[in-house]
Structure 1
Amino acid sequence: MVEPYLRLLVAQVRGQTQYRASFVVELVFSTLMTALDVVTVFVIFSVNDRLGGFGGTEVLMIVGIAAFGFPAADLVVGNVERLRVYVRTGLLDAVLVRPLSALGQLVAMDFSVRRAGRVVQGTALYVVALVVAPVVWSPGAVVLVVLAPLSATVFFGAIFVVGATVAFWWIESGEIANAFTYGGRDFTSYPMTVFSGLFRRVFAYGLGFAFVAYLPALALLGRSDPIGAPDWLRWCSPLVALFAAGVAALFWRTGIRHYRSTGS
């Protein structure tokens, strides 16, 4: 059953690379725009030695994990954001009558190759962070080095799916979803210590965004959480990511069952 999705992906790639010059320009500009997020962090450290109690290389570790996780999720499942277009126009009906997964089709049909540049950039940044940051190496740290960015990808992927699924009940939900996807990307690129009060409790620990990059980075750096979270939580990002994926799958199935055709 994998072959139909691969054919859809190949068709998308061929179509997007048909005009090579245009494709290269889009790929380069897409990568450069993402680089601005990293530049922001360097600008901050040009006027401050520390950020929320963390040095430059330590923050770079946090940024590196987030810089891989979000673009990778955006590349793989970010296209599901177009669900609201399919619901509004009635095109989702055509998707549902095919003997394939609706979510799998949405992901494959609107696959955007140009986003791959962001993943390459995020990977390079993460590798640099592992080299320059004071990582406390151990067998557990070696495993977490691999699992942390993958867990971040799964977590953000779940956020994308949940945000898109809201369109089954509220079609014009795009901006609300963006607050948690793109807003979550920005939120996870900084130490949680720069936030405070109810905002930090809700987003960092209530919704789990602290497990994307902040807590795994603390584990790799051998630091306890200055906010006071138990040390064992630093290693729980894979479990939180799997839980988020389960919630997203349940929410998606609920949305599909409640879908009513537009009749167009």
Structure 2
Amino acid sequence: MLNSVHLYMRYIEISVRGQMQYRASFVMLSIGHLLATGVEFVAILVLFARFDNLQGWTLHEVAFLYGMVNIAFSIADAAARGFDLFGNMVKSGDFDRLLTRPRSTALQLAGQELTLRRVGRFAQGFGVMAWSSVAMDVSWSATDVVLLMMTVAGGVCMFMGLVVVQATLAFWTTETLEIMNTVTYGGVETTQYPIAIYRPWFQRLFTFGVP
């Protein structure tokens, strides 16, 4: 177990070192990612400029939810890049190389790449969540912080699980199904808003079906 963790950290170190060879590119990609995802929050601001609340939720409450979801997804998206590219590896035959190595294929895929430019989405989500927290004058206790961390960790696990399922489908479809994006990227869009605004069947789908 410890040996696998050490190997994974070595994979991540190599990935980070490779991406840091082009620091200017990393900075520009991160800023671009921050601005691109920031458009989503602008849409929320426009929505609340028209309506005072959303099923009883205020702008700052929805903003906090938005930030939390984007933090979780940015971590999962950065860490699960290898699984996201799995369909191409199966088609090109590169997956066979992983099978010949005396290590877990899941470990090798997980360590394939840590996509650092996702820090743009992370920073944007964290900034929005921090702003909304200050605006609501939240008094953070140790229990609240632990609960927040566990919630984000749960979100990371869920999104990574969906990417792994998407990768698994490549064995039968030769490439990952685009329909899975409706529950990965679509799931991000859905969970940025209070689930109470959706129809009952849709609430059940994303509360019980997708997880």
Same fold (TM over 0.5): yes
2:185 corresponds to which of 167, 182, 204: 182
Q: Which stretch shows the higher mean deviation, 27-36 or 186-195?
A: 27-36
In structure 1, the residue matched to 2:150 is: 147
CA deviation map 1:73-97 (0-9, x unaligned): 1111243111101111111111122
Larger RCO (CA within 8 A; separation ≥ 6): 2
Shift of 1:69: 0.9
Q: Is the CA contact (8 Å cut-off) linking 2:67 and 2:128 kept in structure 1?
A: yes
State yes or no: 1:68 paired with 2:71.
Answer: yes
In structure 1, the residue matched to 2:110 is: 107
Shift of 1:134: 6.2
Structure 1 portions without partners, runs of 5+: 209-264
Distance in 2 between the 1:30 and 1:138 partners? 32
In structure 1, the residue matched to 2:35 is: 32
Distance in 1 between the 2:141 and 2:33 partners? 36
State yes or no: 1:162 paired with 2:165.
Answer: yes
Shift of 1:129: 2.8
- Runs of 4 or more, structure 1, over 4 Å off, are 134-140
| Counterpart residue identity of residue 143, structure 1 | V
Q: Is the CA contact (8 Å cut-off) linking 1:80 and 1:106 kept in structure 2?
A: yes
CA deviation map 1:223-246 (0-9, x unaligned): xxxxxxxxxxxxxxxxxxxxxxxx
**Number of aligned residue pairs:** 208
Cα 1:25–1:137 shift into 2, 3 Å: closer
CA deviation map 1:141-187 (0-9, x unaligned): 34312211122112111111112211122223331221111010001
Normalising by structure 1, what TM-score? Answer: 0.71
In structure 1, the residue matched to 2:82 is: 79
Shift of 1:136: 7.7
In structure 2, the residue matched to 1:7 is: 10
Cα 1:55–1:82 shift into 2, 3 Å: same
State yes or no: 1:23 paired with 2:38.
Answer: no
Q: CA RMSD in A?
A: 2.1
Mapping for residues 252-263 of structure 1, pairs under 5 Å: none
Mapping for residues 184-263 of structure 1, pairs under 5 Å: 184-208=187-211
Cα 1:19–1:133 shift into 2, 3 Å: same
Distance in 1 between the 2:151 and 2:15 partners? 30
Q: Is the CA contact (8 Å cut-off) linking 2:91 and 2:175 kept in structure 1?
A: no
1:44 corresponds to which of 38, 44, 47: 47
Structure 2 portions without partners, runs of 5+: none
Distance in 1 between the 2:103 and 2:122 partners? 28
In structure 2, the residue matched to 1:171 is: 174
CA deviation map 1:181-236 (0-9, x unaligned): 1010001000112211422222234334xxxxxxxxxxxxxxxxxxxxxxxxxxxx
Distance in 2 between the 1:36 and 1:93 partners? 40
